[in-house]
Chain A
Amino acid sequence: METTTVNSNFKSEEYFINMGPQHPATHGVLRLILTIDGEIIKKVDPDLGYIHRSIEKMCERDSYQQIVHLTDRMDYLSSHINNEAVCLTVENALELEVPDRVKVIRTIIGELTRIASHCLWWGVSGMDVGALTTYFYGFRDREMINDIFEETCGARLTMNYNIPGGLMYDIHPNFIKRTKEFVAHFKTKIPEYDRLLTGNVIFQKRMKGVGILTKEDAISFGASGPVGRGSGFSCDVRKHHPYSALDKVTFNEALKTEGDSLARYEVRIQEMWESLSIIEQLIDNIPEGEYKVATKAVIKLPKGEYYQKVEAARGELGVYIISTGTKNPYRLKFRSPGFSNLSLLNHIAVGGKIGDLVATMATLDIVVPDIDR
């Protein structure tokens, strides 16, 4: 790209700035090429591919059980939900009915994952706008969830607890007790988060009216998850196409109409409350039964095309498998939420200032491995 030669003060010329791959505010290795005039942004051009690992090509050579393990490296903050997506696709294709116990446990762990992801998001988003202490508070609560996962699933981040047909092992005896403790503890913490950040005048001025996304644009850009819901687009997959045990629980979909960063922020806070309520409804009523259904060692999906949507912490994750009857998929495509959410960055950041760009990116909540796959 050319730079215009300047022989007078530079304020009236446009210039390029690189918010490069290593940067504290771009969550992951994302490079943004900004064209700026003074402080006003004229164009945002994301440059992706720094963490592209060709997961889709690898899936064409791996078996279905192996593919499940690749999915948690995509959006590593909602890894359990990613695993669940592939397992559900395979189970629906094989027309396999998993026991209720499995469905309920999958939902509970999925909601815990969502809360953990939102805790991290909250901490990091406070840090992006300058309140450096929120990072530690968010991680303190996330640690409790990670400890629960470590006991049951064996890992803190990439859980690999799902297999096509059920779960890898049964839940740990302490799981129910610790989850209940966590729910009781976290209910006192979300008001603390509100006092620290949401109600703060400086924070509201940074977020209100910044990065406005209208509902028509949200649908056109394919924004899903809290980004879409902050603009009034009702897109919660848990409501429209329920899966696992989600049709048995009652919860509200968090919707706001303003479409600015504060609305997206509040949607996520509301989602944390709703997730807590879902966990409470399910945690005492886990049905007894088997924790998995036996499948063949080599899974072959019948010839056809299968699509499954789930609600990951960032939005709607879709798994599209084209199978020709062999033991590897012919084509597997992941519709990742971050990919569509990032595409609207240019649309909503233009005309704002650099500080607004950072605040907007904090509320878009993208995880770059999810985009790059």
Chain B
Amino acid sequence: MTDKINTMYIALSITKNIHDWLFSVMPEGAASIVEMVLIALVYLAVFAVAGLYLVLLERKVAAWFQLRIGPNRVGFWGLLQTMADALKLVSKELTGTVKADKFLYNLAPYFVIVSSLMALAVFPFTKEFQAFDINIGIFFLIAISSIGVIGILLGGWASNNKFALIGAMRSGVQTISYELSVGLSLLTMILITGSLQLSEIVEVQKSGWLIVQGHIPAIIAFMIYMIAGTAETNRAPFDMVEAESELGAGFHTEYSGMKFAYFFLAEFINMFIIAAIATTIFFGAWLSPFGITESIPWLGVFWFLGKTLVLVFLMMWFRWTFPRLRIDQLLTLEWKYLLPINLINIVIMAIIVWLKLTIQF
């Protein structure tokens, strides 16, 4: 029993000491539960901090594009700004409409938050720093991100508000369509690795990042993945769902205070997750280019975060530059363009792998 738990939870040597200490102090069952709770708390803290600082990053990046400075009063360089915002949101009055379906209305934000948190658990931040390394890693990620849609639909429906309902319906349609593209473009890369397990995927990339190994079809897959990923998270140019200039605030019109904070933070965490998946699959997760810092494993965290943040910046760049697509144009893009290209791309990639034309270092 202990062996199985040990292979499932891999941690760095510092945490290995905590692990050993726990097991020496308490009986096995209790120790493993305490360990799980500890890991969950750590991830919750990571989630909260990451969410807050991503919001600040977005505001600063937006300000840079718009020729202004952004928050710089609260704390040095605005670093405490989102803390102040979070405190404000926590202390806000929770308004709710009388006719809203109370149970579903309260339940909706939790779907979004929980699915984001669960997805965050599988990423390989560095060599032995991964909370949950199951053998169906990628599949797990795609499945989890689909659960978030339920939260949006519930929120829109339970608000008893026409604008919210329109927003929620649009979002449901959009997310379900673009999941296909996300899944298929990831599948394209799995053809090279041959395994769904995330740590295996990183192992394969030791002989060259997958985007280099797969050359042309991998680049196409990456572009499709970025487009579809941006659409999955309801960000511009696909943010019809919460188009401020059209329908007020879309599906979260009726939410305020902490529940709104959940939706809001979940959007940013989703963006991080999409970027993190791209980093893992296409850009070699925590591997340094040409293996320059191979000997210092804990630098892997910085490589991982650095690559992820570059992709996050790319998504923010999209948001502040492009106008938004109309809902039917959005769906046309997916079903008539992205999906056929994706399918052809898979075939090309399969041919390249079969003929062993991938670039290996």
User: By the criterion CB–CB under 8 Å, are A39 and B322 in contact?
Assistant: no
Count residues of B near A (Cβ-Cβ below 8 Å): 29
A322 within 8 A of B: no
Number of A-B contacts (CB under 8 A): 75
List 6 A-B residue pairs with CB atoms under 8 Å apart, sorted by A's residue number.
A133-B321, A135-B66, A196-B321, A202-B324, A205-B325, A356-B326
**B60-96 at interface with A (beta carbon < 8 Å):** 62, 65-68
Name 19 extra pairs, CB < 8 A, besides A130-B237, A130-B324.
Answer: A23-B248, A25-B245, A128-B245, A130-B236, A130-B239, A130-B243, A130-B322, A131-B322, A132-B62, A132-B66, A132-B236, A132-B320, A133-B320, A196-B321, A205-B325, A353-B327, A355-B243, A355-B327, A358-B245
A330 within 8 Å of B by Cβ? no
Chain B CB within 8 A of A94 CB: no
Q: Which residue of B lies closest to A20 (CB)?
A: B248
Residues of B near A353 (CB, < 8 A) are: 326-328
Given known A-B contacts A130-B323, A133-B320, A200-B322, A205 and B67 have beta carbons under 8 A apart = no
Is B20 positioned at the interface, with any CB of A under 8 Å from its CB? no
> Which residues from chain A contact B247 at a C-beta distance below 8 Å?
354
Quick check: B325 and A202 within 8 Å, CB to CB? yes
**Docked complex Cα distance between A356 and B324 (Å):** 12
- Which B residue's beta carbon lies closest to that of A25? B245
Does the CB pair A136–B68 fall under 8 Å? Answer: yes
Q: What is the minimal beta-carbon distance from A192 to any residue of chain B, in angstroms?
A: 12
Q: Is the C-beta of A304 less than 8 angstroms from some C-beta in chain B?
A: no
Are A130 and B245 in touch, CB under 8 angstroms?
A: yes
Determine the interface band of chain A, counting residues with CB < 8 A from chain B. Answer: 20 to 34
Cβ contact of B246, chosen from A15, A137, A140, A354, cutoff 8 A: A354
Contact B321 A131 (CB under 8 A): yes
Residues of B near any A CB (own CB < 8 A)? 62, 65-68, 162-163, 165, 236-237, 239-240, 243-248, 319-329
Residues of B within 8 A of A137 (CB): 67
CB-CB under 8 A from A136, the residues of chain B are 66-68
- Choose among B243, B244, B320, B323 the residue that contacts A203 (Cβ–Cβ < 8 A): B323
Whether a CB of chain B sits under 8 angstroms from the CB of A197 is: yes
**Contact string, A1-32, partner B, CB cutoff 8 A, digits 1/0?**
00000000010000101000001110000000
Q: How far, in angstroms, from A17 to B167 measured CA to CA in the complex?
A: 13
- CB pair A206 B326 closer than 8 Å: yes
Bound CA–CA A132/B162 (angstroms): 25
| C-alpha gap A140/B236 in the complex (Å) | 23
User: What 5 pairs between A and B have smallest CB-CB spacing?
Assistant: A130-B324, A355-B326, A136-B66, A129-B323, A130-B323
Measured CB to CB, the closest approach of chain A to B251, in angstroms, equals 15
Give the CA-CA distance A353 to B319 in the complex, in Å: 23
Residue pair A39, B327 in contact (C-beta under 8 Å): yes
- B residues in contact with A354, CB < 8 Å: 246-247
In the complex, the answer to whether B245 meets A131 with C-beta atoms within 8 Å is no
* Interface hits, A93-138 → B, CB 8 Å: 126-133, 135-137
Residue of A39, A129, A197, A353 contacting most chain B CB atoms (<10 Å) = A129
In whole Å, how far is B163's beta carbon from the nearest beta carbon of chain A?
A: 7
User: CB-CB < 8 A to B326: which residues of A?
Assistant: 205-206, 353, 355-356
Task: List residues of chain B with CB within 8 A of the CB of A132.
Answer: 62, 66, 236, 319-320
Collect the chain A residues with CB atoms within 8 Å of residue B66's CB: 132-133, 135-136
Contacts of B329 in A (CB 8 A): 205-206
CB distance from A372 to the nearest CB of B (A): 22
In whole angstroms, how far apart are the Cα atoms of A129 and B66 in the complex?
A: 17
Q: How far is the CA of A15 from the CA of B163 in the complex (A)?
A: 12
With both chains docked as a complex, state the minimum distance between the C-beta of A172 and any C-beta of chain B, in angstroms: 27
- Nearest to A207 among chain B residues (CB) is B323
How far does the Cβ of A155 sit from chain B's closest Cβ, in whole Å?
25
Instruction: Please tell me if the beta carbons of A202 and B245 are within 8 angstroms of each other in the complex.
Output: no
| A residues less than 8 Å from B243 (CB atoms) | 130, 355
Residue from the set A127, A136, A197, A200 with the largest chain B CB neighbour count within 10 Å: A136
Q: How far is the CA of A17 from the CA of B66 in the complex (A)?
A: 33
Docked Cα-Cα span, A240 to B288, in Å, equals 70
Q: Which of A218-232 contact B (CB under 8 A)?
A: none
A140 to B65, CA, bound (A): 13
Q: Are B245 and A24 in contact (CB under 8 A)?
A: yes
Question: What residues of chain A lie closer than 8 Å to B62, measured between beta carbons?
Answer: 132
